[in-house]
Amino acid sequence: MHNDIISLENISKQYNKKDAFVLNDVSLSVKNSEFIALLGPSGSGKSTLLHIAGLLDSQTAGNVFINGRNTAKISDNERTYLRLTKIGFVYQYHHLLQEFTAIENVMLPMLAAKVNSKTAREKAKHLLKTVKLDSKFDSLPSELSGGQKQRVAIARALANNPVLLLADEPTGNLDPETAVLVFEDLIEIMHQTQMSAIIATHNYELADRMNKKYFISEGRLLEK
Ligand code: ADP
Ligand code: MG
């Protein structure tokens, strides 16, 4: 429905003309505060789906509606603005900028959205506290553990108060114990902010704690 946070309608994706379809007529809607797990074997199309949902890649067919707006029918500038202010993306690998401190990495999306630097700094501190990094504001990524880097990446994704968080195996590079701790934080943040989320994961135990589970296989999406 077009009043959902995000609605993927009949999405198909083929990377190259001679290749098989990675996604084949996939539809998925996410309501306010809904927390969705995306499961599926490696190579099944989880990242492809998240990239299309996050407007980071284009679909071969179908439409992506965000807050009721058809993203195919808006200008590139508007799409960039939507991506920056409505969607937070967390990758499996943190993708932090190595030469910037934790606080600066979290400030960057706010500065890009023209938030003034004092406000951005205060918000970044608040977000880093939320992910339990009070003592690491001025640390460089190289001075942080894997779990801490991923926490900074989560704080960065939340910087512009997105309505939708897309996370691509966000704890996939962490040891199992750290993965659970980071995930617990993520669940707590979701409850506090009432954001919606789609999280690709291989961890069925963690997926069980979300509102819905979808499984991708052979280009199709099934609700579990
Ligand atoms: P998952 O995230 O579930 O592991 P992906 O979405 O990364 O799966 O990949 C799904 C399929 O699409 C795989 O067969 C992969 O090789 C292919 N694929 C992904 N990205 C590209 C690309 N940029 N160009 C061509 N094929 C790609
Ligand atoms: Mg992937």
Question: What is the extent of the structural domain holding 187?
Answer: 6-223
Q: How far is the CA of 92 from the centre of ligand 1 (A)?
A: 15
Residue 33 confidence (pLDDT) above 60: yes
37: CATH: 3.40.50.300
Angle at 165 between CA 70 and CA 173, to 5 degrees: 130
Query: What pLDDT is stored for residue 206 in this prediction?
Result: 85
Structural domain contains residue 136: yes
pLDDT digits (tens, 9 = 90+) for 12-25: 999 999 999 999 99
Query: What pLDDT is stored for residue 172 in this prediction?
Result: 86
Angle at 64 between CA 210 and CA 214, to 5 degrees: 25
Give dist(CA 37, CA 155) in Å, integer: 20
Residues in the chain: 224
Pocket test for ligand 1, best of 12, 39, 42, 48 (most atoms within 8 A of CB): 48
Give dist(CA 59, CA 3) in Å, integer: 21
Give dist(CA 195, CA 197) in Å, integer: 7
Query: What pLDDT is stored for residue 187 in this prediction?
Result: 87
Structural domain contains residue 107: yes
Residue 94 CA from chain centroid, whole number: 12
Structural domain contains residue 149: yes
Structural domain contains residue 87: yes
Ligand nearest to the CA of 56: 1
Query: What pLDDT is stored for residue 203 in this prediction?
Result: 85
Query: What pLDDT is stored for residue 2 in this prediction?
Result: 58
Pocket test for ligand 1, best of 22, 23, 218 (most atoms within 8 A of CB): 22
Burial class (CB in 10 A: 0-12, 13-18, 19+), 90: buried
Contacts of 197 (CB under 8 A, 6+ apart): 30, 34, 35, 36, 164, 165, 166, 167, 186, 190
Angle at 149 between CA 146 and CA 155, to 5 degrees: 145
Q: How far is the CA of 95 from the centre of ligand 2 (A)?
A: 15
Average per-residue pLDDT in the chain? 93
Against a cut of 0.75, is the pTM above it?
yes
Mean pLDDT of 141-147: 95
Which residue has a Cα nearest atom 6 of ligand 1? Answer: 45
| DSSP 8-state assignment for residue 163 | S
Confidence at 93, pLDDT banded by 50, 70, 90: confident
Q: How far is the CA of 145 from the centre of ligand 2 (A)?
A: 22
Query: What pLDDT is stored for residue 1 in this prediction?
Result: 55
Mean pLDDT of 181-201: 89
Structural domain contains residue 1: no
pLDDT digits (tens, 9 = 90+) for 114-136: 999 999 999 999 999 999 999 99
Q: How far is the CA of 43 from the centre of ligand 2 (A)?
A: 7
Mean pLDDT of 201-214: 90
**Ligand 1 binding pocket, CB closer than 6 Å:** 15, 22, 40, 42-48
Confidence at 97, pLDDT banded by 50, 70, 90: very high
**Contact (Cβ atoms closer than 8 angstroms) between residue 10 and residue 184:** no
Residue 199 confidence (pLDDT) above 70: yes
Q: How far is the CA of 221 from the centre of ligand 1 (A)?
A: 16
Which residue has a Cα nearest atom 24 of ligand 1? Answer: 15
How far, CA to CA in Å, does 23 sit from each of 40, 61, 63, 201, 213? Answer: 12, 10, 13, 18, 17
Residue 209 confidence (pLDDT) above 60: yes
Query: What pLDDT is stored for residue 45 in this prediction?
Result: 97
Give dist(CA 77, CA 96) in Å, integer: 24
Which residue has a Cα nearest atom 18 of ligand 1? Answer: 15
Give dist(CA 171, CA 167) in Å, integer: 9
Query: What pLDDT is stored for residue 92 in this prediction?
Result: 85
Structural domain contains residue 72: yes
What number does the ligand 1 atom closest to the CA of 57 have? Answer: 23
What number does the ligand 1 atom closest to the CA of 169 have? Answer: 2
Considering its fold, how many domains does the chain have in total?
1
Share of the chain above pLDDT 70, in %: 99
